[in-house]
Each structure stands twice: as C-alpha cells, then as structure tokens.
Structure 1
C-alpha cells in the first residue's frame, strides 16, 4: 500500500503500525512523489492526507479516477465537516478517517480496502495437495492447517498466483516488502527456507537459478 502524508512524525508512526500488522508500506510526503509511485507500482490501497505539498489530494484522486485508475483510496485528514467528507467521496475516495484517529481502526479500514482490491483474485489456490485460502489467509497441506507469518503467506500467495512459473526474486521483493527492504540482502532466501520447512515434504518450492522461485504441484 501507499501512504501519502507530509507530517513526518505521523507518517512514520502510521507506517510503523501498518507494517507491524503485516502490510507492506511505501511512504511519500507530497503529490508529485505519490504520482510517481502510483505510476510504477500497482498498490492494493492508498492513504492520502487531504492537504499536501502540491495541492489537495481530493483533486488529485479525482484526476486519477478520470484516467481510469481504480486503486482504493482512504483520506486521512483533520477536515471533518460533512461537506469535506462528501467532497472526499465525490472526488473518488473510498473511505474517510478524521484525525485524531485510533490506529487499530485505521489498520482495519486499510485491510478492508486491500481486500476490495484483491476481489478479482481467485479466493482459493490449489497447487497439488496445497490449498491457499486468500480470503481467510489460511494454508492447508493434505488438509492440515499450517501456521505461517504474514510475510510467509504473502510470498506463498504470489507464488501460488503464478504456479508453475518462475517468479523473479525482484517481483517477490516488490510484492511482499516495501521500499525500505534491501533487495540485495538474503531476507527472501531466509524466508523461503522457513516456508519450505513449514510446507514439508515433498518440497513444492524450487529455486530457479538466476531468476527466483517456482511453486509446482510435483515440486519438479
């Protein structure tokens, strides 16, 4: 998801809370940077402060909608009149949360918008005897429920959506981590090793040398 907030302290605090909830977060402080981020990345959700360097986020979102961009948007703002909220929705916003706010409520609203963006995805992936339920965020192998971390589930979901295909390492990093992650580190390799152990034998995730990883029903 993308968080656009020019108050540094608030942006850092909100981003930390969202990451603690297992969400990948990119941060920007103004509309030009947000526009660039949205151009290069397909986000499940974007959270905008209303008044930002570069203009009113409501007007920017209205332009996004006119261009056919459907990313779900939540406005996070101190502007709390009925007229402000109506303007936020009519400009193309999907949700509106007034400052000050409770962090658990923000996390719940962001999760709801992310699920809305994911509705077009198959709710359940089957790869051999592995079942990935994206709606319930549950994974079973041979009917046995497995316990995965949020990040492990995110990586497995991407691999399952492209089952039998080699998924580049960079794609997994981009989809499952935010821009603060260091792609050159071994964070992905460590996570895949943990995921393989939890999925058990015979192994389903194969390393594709020089590319990334592939999830296959027969593990070949």
Structure 2
C-alpha cells in the first residue's frame, strides 16, 4: 500500500569543550576564560533545546518542559504536529501511562517503516470534551447524531486519558495493521484514528464498535 519505506534517523552529536589551567597565567587570561564561560553558559539553554529536539525525533525519552500556554485542557495548538514524545503538552503527558508507553513503542517501530505517528488528540479535560460535544451537536443537528462521533464528558475515554487519536492516514493504516502487537486497537469503525489499549501485546483486538454511541 505504501512505497518502500526508508529510515530517516537523525544523529545527535555530543561535543566536549575541555579546559586546561596553566600555572603562572596572568589576569588577562583569567578575564578571557571568564568571558568564554559566559558565552558558553548563555548558549547552554539553546544547546539543550536542540539536543532535546533531536532526541525526541529519534524516539527518545519524553520531554519534560513547561506546559505551553493555552493547552492546559488538552488542546493542541493549531498548525502544530505533536509526536507521542511531546509530553509537555497535557494532551499527551496526561495520557494513561500504559497507553502512552504503548504508543511511544509503536511510534519508534513505525518510524523504522518510514511512518511518522502524530497525536491529533489525547487526554481532554471535561470542559474540552463538552465543548467538542456542543460543536458536534451544532454540526450534526442533534445530540443523537453528534454522539456517534463525540462522547459525553462522563463517558469519554479521552477524559480518562485512555484514548488517543493518531494521524495522518498512513499512520492510522499502519497502526490498524500492527497495533495489536502493542495492545493498541481501533475502537470505532467510523473513526480509524481512535485507539485504545484493549488487549495485551500480541493479543487479539475486539471487533470495533460501529461508532462512539455504541
């Protein structure tokens, strides 16, 4: 279904800057060393950020930076693609730990097949879920029709952190075919992007429900 995948892994280079103190060096050298230290210290945050970005792209451990403003309820910034390792975003960081671990493991293996898993939605606050339901009712014309795509805050597995939406389509296709290796299963036939941890690694997924209304 896909072209021959190729692995595209970046390599993070570790650099060292060894210093050496020589006896008898005068005050001029001391000043020069102090200036050099100042430049290095100022550059460290940028260096750490770059290294963390490379580490994340390589499928490294989850990031632990501050929560970006406006994402506290599980919102994902418009135009921003998140990986399962962007845990500073509550939508990902507040997922149920076994689910998050399974998705991260799947993401690493999918990358070996040339597929990049992106999280389009994950954990949501009750207010966020209610807002989506209200928008669904307006879009589809009735609560009954909206419920086929959006659950109530009381029943949503997104609110409990036990569901994750994955994109793009080739990633969904890969996860539908391989997700059971990690315990990940497609839950609804009308939502190929919605996955939950419904079996053990290598187990059999239950048959998908027709929609979120059950």
TM-score using structure 1 length? 0.28
Q: Which has the higher strand share?
A: 1
- Structure number with bigger Rg: 2
TM-score using structure 2 length? 0.29
